[in-house]
Chain A
């Protein structure tokens, strides 16, 4: 078991004919994930071919869902059209939409988030590396890879990873795998100020997942999603959680790469988040090199 996606999850890729989407669709196919459909308006009826795999392309998500039974989408469409693409996936009744696209205007995401209230579709991202549930094959082949993560660094196992940052997620996964410790599911929730799924949502899922035995939670400056998750863990946590917060040295008022990584008005500081982690019994890695070890010591 895992959370959100399993190796059987049927994936459709919105924006599969674009350079970015196409490249990562191929990598997901290589990893052994079930990429069953592509969607590019105007290219319905064509196919996306990679090796022995031929993926049908549809004009709309609804058609792709009806024809292939896809339940999950990876959104790679450019920022101006991304909000529309996310809502199209919602309208088609997908279980999960994973928005990889970086650079979606905040106002668009504010409207998307409001429009998705009460819908059964879950949004992960935007501006995220996606999700990986490692498979049982060599280098975790045969797992479900949605997005842009390097699949081969994973290993199937019992640690859940949730993070706002892509490369820090890879760093944590790599540390775990190097120590021969596998992962249940790794979720990148994205670096934007408005995102579909926050730390607390993923933490709750990990706590309920019987195959997840420990959790690494990686946060960064900006907002208070980490504090919110920490408060929940303090009251309800049943499994060891270790964490790291990036941005202790970030100057206030500056956006550190991610649109959401900013300390403004004295809020969203690394210090406050680390304090919240400690107060909730979350093991805090002193440096990003010690994320895995910090958790393993607690288990």
Chain B
């Protein structure tokens, strides 16, 4: 699960990670009020930031034509004006895709004087099964590019989960970033607190980009998390009600939310051949084989190991809600589950939804003969595939033939 920047900063505050003063809001008036309060508190520069679960906001463009999902200003008037231009508008960034995301919340915050931008993150290193702290002197840019072009500029420190992060390790990282003198203590405190946030919250990833050396009006320097990005381990959410409450359904695809209600694992893709499969690995492999034979998968859909009739019905409805879908491939390896139960579920779902699109079913496993009989006796035009390859080739060919006919019809009509 992902959360917004303002929520991540709220968590950071709780754990003692320094962040700029600021608050979220949903109206221009509130934005104005926060800006006024910050100015009264001594802020010399303010920032208003669109809250969406995607990066590249600063360089993004609103569909209204307004440039920039992050704006700086000294004036609360101007902050209010920017807020008016952002709220209720759709922001397109390099990470959102062309559909963009609706901005319905903003973060208005103090924009401190930044002396240097750094990078800092905590994540799991799968290779060692240990937490990993990663930092770089190259902040504010795409860290993947840094890792690619100048890997020597990335500092890594692995943490033994049995003893946790020690302050000396945090100081080691800070020193490697060139943070000496007073800054080393400010940095080590922030690194310790960030790690604690990651560990205690069961985060998958906590990323601060940029982590900044800032300077106040008296010339005192310190370290602060100017941006914050967090994602969490879904399997651990049951023990973090506060984080579950931060879930923003508006950021998730509607069909995916609907699927999760039925314990279905669905991810929408851009193709036109839908698939319904049991098991995550087989579901991925089914997408791959559709592509291999020249088709484009419309989705990933894992109905799980013990799929019920109801789940199959729900899965069909979800698949058919995608207007791009022109054909369906069902691939079930029923090792333990009864293939006939699945077949009955498919027949019921086809009748209920009045399916007109081509459907190819490949069933294998327990009680498969009865399942195939159920399909053939249903009176429906369900094509069966003998193997994954056979089924995939059949659905790709059928969809191609149908769209060929459509094209021919259109030409004939002209």
- A residues bordering B, Cβ < 8 Å? 27, 79-80, 103-111, 113-115, 148-150, 153, 163-171, 174, 191, 193-194, 218, 220-225, 228, 244, 246-251, 254, 256-261, 265-266, 270, 286-290
Question: With contacts defined as CB atoms under 8 Å apart, how many contacts are there between chain A and chain B in the complex?
Answer: 170
Checking A105, A191, A249, A266 against B280 with a beta-carbon cut-off of 8 angstroms, the contacting residue is: A191
Checking A110, A153, A228, A288 against B288 with a beta-carbon cut-off of 8 angstroms, the contacting residue is: A288
Known: A114-B162, A246-B281, A246-B288. A289 touches B387 (CB 8 A): yes
Chain A residues, Cβ within 8 Å of B130: 110, 114
Q: Which of A111, A171, A251, A290 has the most CB of B within 10 A?
A: A171
Verify if B265 is at the interface (C-beta below 8 Å from A): yes
**By the criterion CB–CB under 8 Å, are A105 and B233 in contact?**
yes
Known: A194-B124, A254-B267. A148 touches B289 (CB 8 A): no
**By the criterion CB–CB under 8 Å, are B388 and A289 in contact?**
yes
Q: Closest CB-CB distance, B287 to chain A, in whole Å?
A: 4
Chain B residues, Cβ within 8 Å of A250: 284, 287, 300
Checking A79, A168, A224 against B127 with a beta-carbon cut-off of 8 angstroms, the contacting residue is: A224
**By the criterion CB–CB under 8 Å, are B388 and A287 in contact?**
yes
Verify if B283 is at the interface (C-beta below 8 Å from A): yes
**By the criterion CB–CB under 8 Å, are B236 and A153 in contact?**
no
Chain B residues, Cβ within 8 Å of A254: 267, 300
Q: Closest CB-CB distance, B57 to chain A, in whole Å?
A: 17
Chain A residues, Cβ within 8 Å of B283: 256-257
**By the criterion CB–CB under 8 Å, are B126 and A193 in contact?**
yes
Chain A residues, Cβ within 8 Å of B282: 165, 167-168, 171, 246, 288
Query: What are 5 A-B pairs at a CB distance below 8 A?
Result: A167-B282, A170-B333, A246-B281, A250-B284, A289-B389
CB-CB contacts of B82-106 with A at 8 A, as 1s and 0s? 0000000000000000000000000
Residue of B nearest to A192 (CB): B235
Residue of B nearest to A247 (CB): B284
Chain A residues, Cβ within 8 Å of B265: 257
**By the criterion CB–CB under 8 Å, are A110 and B129 in contact?**
yes
Given the complex of chains A and B, what is the CA–CA distance between A228 and B238 in angstroms?
33
Chain B residues, Cβ within 8 Å of A247: 284, 288
Chain A to chain B: the 10 pairs with minimum beta-carbon distance, closest first:
A165-B281, A257-B280, A167-B279, A150-B335, A105-B236, A289-B389, A167-B282, A168-B281, A246-B284, A288-B285
Known: A167-B281, A256-B300, A287-B389. A106 touches B124 (CB 8 A): yes
Chain A residues, Cβ within 8 Å of B286: 288
Given the complex of chains A and B, what is the CA–CA distance between A165 and B282 in angstroms?
7
Chain A residues, Cβ within 8 Å of B365: 150, 153, 170, 174
Known: A150-B366, A290-B389. A167 touches B333 (CB 8 A): yes
Chain B residues, Cβ within 8 Å of A290: 389
Given the complex of chains A and B, what is the CA–CA distance between A165 and B305 in angstroms?
11
Residue of A nearest to B300 (CB): A256
Verify if B161 is at the interface (C-beta below 8 Å from A): yes
Residue of A nearest to B287 (CB): A249
CB-CB contacts of B7-51 with A at 8 A, as 1s and 0s? 000000000000000000000000000000000000000000000
Verify if B5 is at the interface (C-beta below 8 Å from A): no
Q: Which B217-259 residues sit within 8 Å CB-CB of chain A?
A: 233-236, 238-239
Chain A residues, Cβ within 8 Å of B336: 27, 148, 150
Chain A residues, Cβ within 8 Å of B289: 287-289
Verify if B110 is at the interface (C-beta below 8 Å from A): no
**By the criterion CB–CB under 8 Å, are A80 and B284 in contact?**
no
Verify if B345 is at the interface (C-beta below 8 Å from A): no
Q: Which of B202, B280, B286 has the most CB of A within 10 A?
A: B280
**By the criterion CB–CB under 8 Å, are A109 and B129 in contact?**
yes
Q: Closest CB-CB distance, B255 to chain A, in whole Å?
A: 14
Q: Which B266-300 residues sit within 8 Å CB-CB of chain A?
A: 267, 269, 277-292, 297, 300
Q: Closest CB-CB distance, B163 to chain A, in whole Å?
A: 9
List 17 additional A-B contacts (Cβ < 8 Å) besides A110-B131, A150-B366: A113-B129, A164-B281, A165-B282, A167-B282, A193-B124, A194-B124, A194-B129, A246-B284, A246-B285, A249-B291, A251-B267, A260-B126, A261-B280, A265-B147, A287-B388, A288-B282, A290-B389
**By the criterion CB–CB under 8 Å, are B267 and A167 in contact?**
no
Checking B162, B239, B335 against A149 with a beta-carbon cut-off of 8 angstroms, the contacting residue is: B335
Q: Closest CB-CB distance, A116 to chain B, in whole Å?
A: 10
Chain B residues, Cβ within 8 Å of A148: 305, 336
Chain B residues, Cβ within 8 Å of A165: 279-282, 284-285
